[in-house]
């Protein structure tokens, strides 16, 4: 338990911000605050409770932690001589983290309610404290920007890993099957040649073997019926494994009606070898196509990441097409959108001018807004619309979701630093503040409007001159 110590104005000079203050100011601070001693591990600040005191560390230290998925992650440490807690003119109302003392610690505590009187007693000290708060806020914003980027990267990488795994697994499966089929092809070719087919029939089979036609879409029941029908016909041609040959032939668009003319010139004993060779050849063509499409999917995903992060660009500003940045960001969120079964609509005006911007910073804005919109959507059946419109002297980007909407109270404070409606540890309250600041640094503005079932964030950016 904390032990309250007698007032001691002289002890307060151990706090750097209090040094060289007039004696009457130190006396006032001693009278209106209190000095307390804590034992190692005691909790001084609790997450979710009102931020009610300025704290000066006279001896010992304070370690702050931030709740993160049920765990307390260390954030920063306050050594002796420094001030922490709530400071004059701070808008922080609720403590975001937990503060524990390190070793035996002595703290000076001044209630927030005394700040108006302190401003009258010592404007100089208030100015010093405001400077400390500004430095602290700037450092925290920078740290939060890094954390937000890492958090977004972690969220996006999870989806990206899933997206990459699918085509990679498809390539592995297809290559294994292709290797096995290539080992069988010499035997199938030998069987075909032993049947001594006429040259013109072989030429016809070759032309049918390079066909890459996709069959018309069928329901599962219709597909099963078609396979049964083709397998029955193959067995009438002497193919003992008709059900094994039917799927690949059907995938290539063949039916009994298309295969009948191909094998009609052949003697009955030669038909099974010809059909088996044709099926093998078509399967190889299909597997090759599957490997190509899967590898192209991987290349597309890598291209999306490269466009999103702009790995091959310098960090300066350049004329940019906002639609390109929006597309790369939406492509990165593709997995998250599919998880919630989100209906996505993109409407890009063709006459939108380029904007002079930093690609990485602008993509951070799109990431924050789209991520918030996805979080606000229901588990299934949500809609997300992304629009661009040409405006006099620039462009307007609108991101609209059909989530539950924002209350007028939230709208009034949502761009304030550290304001969040999420539980402690789940939101920093800086994402929208960072997004607005980036937009303002680019000469634009970020606004929001919301009613139940419709929330719209609008970003206005000036055109590149």
Q: Where are the domains of the chain?
A: 3-121, 158-301, 315-462
Cα–Cα distance measured from residue 55 to residue 109, given in angstroms and rounded to the nearest whole number: 5
Per-residue model confidence as pLDDT tens digits over 151-183:
666 666 666 676 677 778 778 888 888 888 888
CATH topology for 315-462 is Heat Shock Protein 90 (3.30.565)
Average pLDDT over residues 232-246: 84
Portion of the chain with pLDDT greater than 90, in percent = 29
pLDDT tens digits, one per residue of 356-411: 988 878 888 898 899 889 888 888 779 999 999 998 889 999 999 998 888 888 77
Question: Domain 3-121 classified CATH 2.60.120.10?
Answer: yes
pTM confidence score: 0.48
What is the pLDDT at residue 24? 94
Reply yes or no on whether the pLDDT at 76 is more than 70: yes
């Amino acid at each position: 338990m904390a032990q309250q110590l007698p007032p001691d104005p002289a002890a307060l000079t151990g706090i750097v911000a209090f040094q060289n203050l007039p004696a009457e100011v130190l006396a006032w601070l001693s009278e209106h605050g209190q000095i307390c001693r804590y034992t190692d591990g005691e909790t001084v600040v609790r997450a979710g409770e009102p931020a009610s005191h300025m704290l000066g560390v006279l001896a010992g230290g304070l370690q702050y932690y931030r709740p993160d998925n049920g765990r307390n992650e260390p954030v920063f440490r306050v050594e002796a001589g420094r001030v922490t807690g709530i400071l004059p003119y701070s808008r922080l109302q609720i403590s975001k983290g937990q503060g524990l003392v390190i070793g035996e610690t002595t703290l000076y505590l001044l209630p927030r309610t005394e700040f108006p009187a302190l401003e009258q007693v010592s404007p100089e000290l208030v100015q010093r404290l405001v400077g400390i708060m500004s430095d602290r806020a700037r450092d925290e914003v920078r740290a939060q920007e890094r954390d937000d980027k890492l958090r977004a990267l972690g969220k996006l990488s999870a989806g990206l890993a899933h997206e990459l795994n699918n085509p990679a697994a498809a390539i592995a499966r297809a290559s294994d099957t292709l290797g096995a089929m290539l080992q069988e092809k010499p035997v199938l070719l030998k069987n075909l040649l032993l049947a001594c087919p006429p040259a013109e029939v072989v030429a016809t089979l070759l032309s049918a073997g390079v066909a890459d036609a996709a069959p018309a879409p069928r329901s599962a029941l219709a597909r099963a019926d078609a396979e049964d029908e083709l397998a029955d016909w193959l067995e009438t041609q002497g193919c003992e494994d008709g059900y094994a040959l039917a799927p690949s032939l059907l995938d290539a668009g063949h039916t009994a009606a298309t295969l009948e003319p191909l094998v009609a010139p052949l003697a009955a004993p030669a038909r099974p070898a010809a059909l088996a060779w044709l099926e093998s050849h078509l399967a190889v063509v299909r597997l090759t196509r599957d490997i190509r499409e899967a590898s192209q999917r991987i290349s597309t995903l890598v291209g999306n990441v490269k466009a999103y992060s702009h790995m091959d660009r310098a960090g300066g500003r350049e004329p940019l097409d906002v639609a390109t940045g929006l597309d790369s960001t939406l492509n990165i969120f593709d997995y998250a959108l599919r998880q919630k079964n989100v209906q996505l609509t993109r409407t890009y005006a063709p006459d939108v001018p380029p904007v002079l911007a930093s690609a990485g910073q602008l993509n951070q804005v799109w990431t924050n807004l789209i991520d918030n919109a996805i979080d606000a959507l229901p588990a299934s059946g949500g809609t997300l619309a992304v629009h661009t419109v040409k405006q006099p002297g620039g462009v307007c980007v609108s991101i609209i979701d059909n989530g539950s909407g924002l209350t007028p109270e939230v709208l009034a404070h949502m761009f304030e630093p550290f304001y969040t409606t999420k539980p402690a540890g789940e939101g920093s309250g800086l994402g929208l503040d960072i997004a607005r600041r980036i937009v303002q640094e680019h000469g634009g503005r970020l606004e929001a409007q919301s009613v139940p079932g419709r929330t719209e964030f609008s970003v206005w950016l000036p055109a590149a001159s």
